[in-house]
Structure 1
Amino acid sequence: MLNKLFDWVDERLDVTPLWADIADHEVPEHVNPAHHFSAFVYCFGGLTFFIVVIQVLSGMFLTMYYVPDIINAWNSVFYLQNEVAFGQIVRGMHHWGASLVIVMMFLHTLRVFFQGAYKKPRELNWIVGVLIFFVMLALGLTGYLLPWDMKALFATKVTIQIIEATPLLGPYLKTLIAGHPEIVGAQTLTRFFAIHVFFLPAALFGLLAAHFIMIRRQGISGPL
């Protein structure tokens, strides 16, 4: 069945050369765990991407039930957690995945740094990777407010106070993010939701595409 579907698509779009280029791409011997135990450190990047995929899919499921306003936000999370089939599992995956993806990105960054993989000709890819790291941190920060419970509310107030302390631009950034110069309320929740669901994922997908293209062009860095 899958072969027939592939043949049908290939006849119209000629995807065989593209698929062959991806599937037949050789992986260097030093990243094969069967040959070198130390090659496991090269798995951190792939594991990070795998968790990102889980975050995206689980997040899509959560947005089907989440209501981004201060009246219904907490109630919608409670309903998802206790009434929706598998809702508790999917939310748990998204919750713990948000922490795990940061840990895996940190390990991946350490591997790249200590093996000197950020040096020429991979300087630009290192910069893109650091930007991805900051985007993931911002995703965790904006998602923290969305349940609209007391812990999330006070944590967001502290975050906004830190942003306000930015020299020169602090008050403007605070108003831009919070939606109000003094109150963390409905505008703040709506903006955090929009940033978390639309703006940051768009930036993440663009940066990931650039990251993978450069890895494919430059190849995987050599061993230490």
Structure 2
Amino acid sequence: MSTRKRNQLKMILLGNSGVGKSSLMNQFVNKRYTNLYRATIGADFLTRDLTVDDNLVTVQVWDTAGTERFQSLGSILYRNTDCCLLVYDVTSADSFRALEGWRQEFVLQGSPRDPDTFPFLVLGNKTDLDNREVSRKLAEDWCRTHKMEHFETSAKEARNVEEVFRSGVRATLNQLKGKDRYVEHPDQVQLQTGKPSREWYCTC
């Protein structure tokens, strides 16, 4: 029987509505893709067990609504997050320009101990489409300035999806060694109630 410690990590996908956050999550966890679009209401999460660099890891992936209507939920959803994946659509310049706002909101409401070293990854999704508006160079230059790793993905074709999440896990495990990640919040609300996939809806 293995005596290796199992790590539990929470990863969150942030970005504008329609950039493919749900598709990325489902491709990573379930190896499935659908053309049917259903906007996420509030938040949804799935879990997957995997081994990264001989570490046993249970990854809880949170998919969040990319609309202003649900941004007030951020203070609850973002806390205790170990890695943040900022997602844009390579065919939408607006979704790329919105990344800085999503990053700032996560830092403000998620309260990581050291935002400068917190694991942020940037994903340019929908590379299977031809009508690109965001060049790889533009995105890579922006990520270099902000010291974040950049990937281009296609949830539809499963392009780089596995690599992105494994890189996020690896970066998180390296960053977490012996560190206290979060500022204490006495009123913190814990939403993770179990391993099975579930959806969490807001009636606001």
TM-score, structure 1 normalization = 0.31
Structure with more strand by fraction: 2
Determine which structure has greater relative contact order: mean sequence separation of CA pairs < 8 Å that are 6+ residues apart, divided by chain length: 2
Give the TM-score taking structure 2 as reference length: 0.33
Larger radius of gyration: 1
